[in-house]
Amino acid sequence: MSDKNEKNSKPIGGGLFFYVIMIVVLIAFSTIVFGGNYGQKEKKTLSDVMTIIDDESNDVSLVEIKGTTIVVTYKDGQGLNQQVTQDVPYEFVDDLVLKLEKAKNQGKIDNYTYTEPFDWSLIVNVVLFAVSLIVVVVLFMSITRQSRDGNSVFSFGNNRARISDPNKDKVKFSDVAGSVEEKEELQEIVDFLKNPKKYQQLGAKIPKGVLLYGAPGTGKTLLARAVAGEAGVKFFYISGSDFVEMLVGVGASRVRSLFADAKKEAPSVVFIDEIDAVGRKRGAGLGGGQDEREQTLNQILVEMDGFDVNSNVIVMAATNRVDVLDPALLRPGRFDRRIMVNMPDADEREAILKIHARKKPLAKDVDLHEVALSTVGFTGADLENLLNEAALMTARHNKKEITMQEITDATFRVQMGPQKNSKKLSDKVKRLTAYHEAGHAVVLRATSEFEKVDRVTIIPAGRAGGFTAYKPIEDTDFYTEKMLLDTIKMSLGGRAAEEVFLGEVSTGASSDLQQCNNIAKNMIKRYGLSKKFRNMVFGDENEEVFLGYSMGQVQSYSDQTAAAIDDEIKNIIDTCYAETKRILIEKSAIVHALATRLIDKLTVDGPDFEKIYVANGDLASLYPQDYSGIDLTSSTEVSEPAAPVAVPVEVPAEENVYEAAPAEPDHTVEKPHATALDPDDSNDPGPTD
């Protein structure tokens, strides 16, 4: 994309300091050359010089007039040679010459020489005037350039949109993988920009505005650029925050300037990214709205409503929070069409990966379809970052091709952060982390019908002391009650394994507990999946005060109901925890085997875990060279489920105060689509939507 405002041109006024120095040097030079009298032996006044010439006792041998300087050479009455030098004003030179001519005729002087004076002051004045004029012109051109580019203090109200050249770096729909339905909706806009008369003859009105909304990284900006690229028209790009300034009225002025420029370049596309920065509900939050933002929004409403039918200007905008936009902005006649850009499914992710892999050398073992299946919840931006991270890892390993191993490692690196292979772990930490992760993996395999284990590791990564990564067997847009309960059980698997097999629990399960409690709370309050409160919902947590929905948060149910909801949450958690411990006791051989393998190898990938699970934990049959004749359960006894447990006091995660558990192994439940299963995520519409 070629943006005329992004050219790397140095401002003309950047050398202003040079011109100032040049003027100072010229003044100093003129002062030195023309202001000093060097070589004079005696300083006299002009009248003194004439007195010397008129004095008959002096024998004047030579009088020289050099420009505006007179030099008199003579012998005084004592016979001594003398010389006098005196400056003469330019206007008196002619009179002086007449006097010398008269003195020569009278015999007072023998001779004199006269050299025509040159008026250097005129030259200096002309040079200084010319330099001053150049400086003024340079300053004027610099201010004009900055004003045109929008960088001048006098142009803060001008349009700051970047304009792309439709003939350079075009983005087409073929460059946008996936988003099939979205591109079909936008194709009509492209056809209108190409053939406006076709619609005008039929009396059809094309939508004046198109609002693209969806999760971050789903390609909303890319789709807008593709519309302009397909139609071959100018593309005006500006962010919503570019309208907001400290001075009231600046944003509205920029809106007027933007739409005026767009109409001059019609047909064209105006794209406002992150429009929620300026288009939020007016009067939102405590204390009312913000004057500058509201004036800017009002001007946008006026400009969009005042479009001529034949203006051939399409306004497109993108946002992640369509729910906070002002209703006047979304009414027909402004943003007539709203298009949700969804998260890519497996096929669309594979197509996106193919586009980003065009210029990357992939090894023969790379299966992009398998990568697409293991990256549920990844957006187009995430997938691009994934392949870039894999390329960086390949370069770090001095390889010529990107293999499947680099892509797999990059996937977990993007999710969890870099592994801390250099961190030394004590045997006690390894053992606790291994059983914690083994508990997650075994419970997931035993309960879930739509997810499978992808990797189990006790190597610290990011803030996690270890993690269990898992992926869905297939994409899904909703979750059943059983799926949510299975997720709670899987989240509790780490804590339950510590209690059952080690007889004590650690603080490492803090975020596990937070996740399962959030799911249980939302099952009751948002999804109506409680036995006691079936098909009932309580409150709307999205109606925050600062979004302008209300002047405060008001509980829409009684305190008795709130207490009953708390009891119901506890009942769900306790029931799932008891079921989780039962599963772990039943699968204790597998848990012991997996924990032993983790302690030895630190990481167990999905296929190896599946072998251990199917073999019921018989490591000797799978790896006879490593575990032949070894009793895996001899060092760890299974605790009774009802045994009392001493729970240590939870401490902040950033303080490394215990050796028995890694710092934050609670990240075991993190996975590519974790936000999809977490009902507390504001961007997730939930299974019922």
C-alpha neighbours within 13 Å on the C-beta side of residue 420: 15
pTM, rounded to two decimals: 0.64
Q: Counting beta carbons within 10 angstroms of the beta carbon of residue 256, is it exposed (0 to 12), middle (13 to 18) or buried (19 or more)?
A: middle
Q: Report the pLDDT value the prediction gives residue 117, as an integer from 0 to 100.
A: 66
How far apart, in Å, do the first and last CA atoms of the chain sit?
Answer: 38
Cα dihedral 34→36→41→42 (10° resolution): 100
101 a catalytic residue: no
Q: Report the pLDDT value the prediction gives residue 294, as an integer from 0 to 100.
A: 74
Residue 686 lies in a domain: no
Q: What is the b/e burial string over 472-501, where b = at least 16 CB atoms within 10 angstroms of the residue's CB? A: beebeeebeeebbbbbbbbbbbbbbbbbbb
Residue 687 lies in a domain: no
Identity (one letter) of the amino acid at 255?
Answer: V
Q: Between 427-447 and 588-601, two packed helices, what is the crossing angle to 10 degrees?
A: 130
Instruction: Tell me the two tokens of residue 470.
Output: 């898992």
- Which among 341, 363, 385 is the end of a domain? 341
Residue 215 lies in a domain: yes
Whether residue 328 is found in the same domain as residue 359: no
Residue 497 lies in a domain: yes
Whether residue 463 is found in the same domain as residue 612: yes
- Which among 314, 341, 368 is the end of a domain? 341
Q: Report the pLDDT value the prediction gives residue 372, as an integer from 0 to 100.
A: 87
* CA–CA gap between residue 683 and residue 675 (Å, rounded): 8
Whether residue 450 is found in the same domain as residue 589: yes
Whether residue 257 is found in the same domain as residue 196: yes
Residue 470 lies in a domain: yes
CATH of the domain at 389: 1.10.8.60
Residue 221 lies in a domain: yes
Whether residue 10 is found in the same domain as residue 96: no
Whether residue 491 is found in the same domain as residue 625: yes
CATH of the domain at 491: 1.20.58.760
Q: Which residues of the chain fall short of a pLDDT of 70?
A: 1-20, 22, 26, 28-46, 48, 90-91, 117-121, 143-162, 166-167, 169, 242-251, 283-292, 306-311, 421-422, 540-554, 629-689
Whether residue 440 is found in the same domain as residue 382: no
Q: Are strands 234-239 and 209-214 parallel, antiparallel or unpaired?
A: unpaired
Whether residue 17 is found in the same domain as residue 73: no
- Which among 391, 416, 441 is the end of a domain? 416
Instruction: Tell me the two tokens of residue 366.
Output: 């790379």
Whether residue 571 is found in the same domain as residue 463: yes
* CA–CA gap between residue 247 and residue 667 (Å, rounded): 46
Which residues constitute the domain of residue 432?
427-677
Whether residue 83 is found in the same domain as residue 48: yes
Whether residue 487 is found in the same domain as residue 623: yes
Residue 683 lies in a domain: no
* CA–CA gap between residue 666 and residue 437 (Å, rounded): 9
Degrees to nearest 5, angle at CA 35 with 34 and 36: 100
Q: Report the pLDDT value the prediction gives residue 663, as an integer from 0 to 100.
A: 35
Determine which helix (DSSP H) or strand (DSSP E) holds 112, and give its type and residue range. Answer: strand 112-115
C-alpha neighbours within 13 Å on the C-beta side of residue 135: 14
Identity (one letter) of the amino acid at 2?
Answer: S
Q: Report the pLDDT value the prediction gives residue 673, as an integer from 0 to 100.
A: 32
* CA–CA gap between residue 52 and residue 64 (Å, rounded): 14
CATH of the domain at 330: 3.40.50.300
Whether residue 222 is found in the same domain as residue 168: yes
Number of folded domains that form the chain:
5
Residue 223 lies in a domain: yes
CATH of the domain at 105: 3.30.720.210
Q: Which of 274, 303, 350, 437 is catalytic?
A: 437
**Phi, then psi, of 503 in degrees rounded to 5:** 75, 5
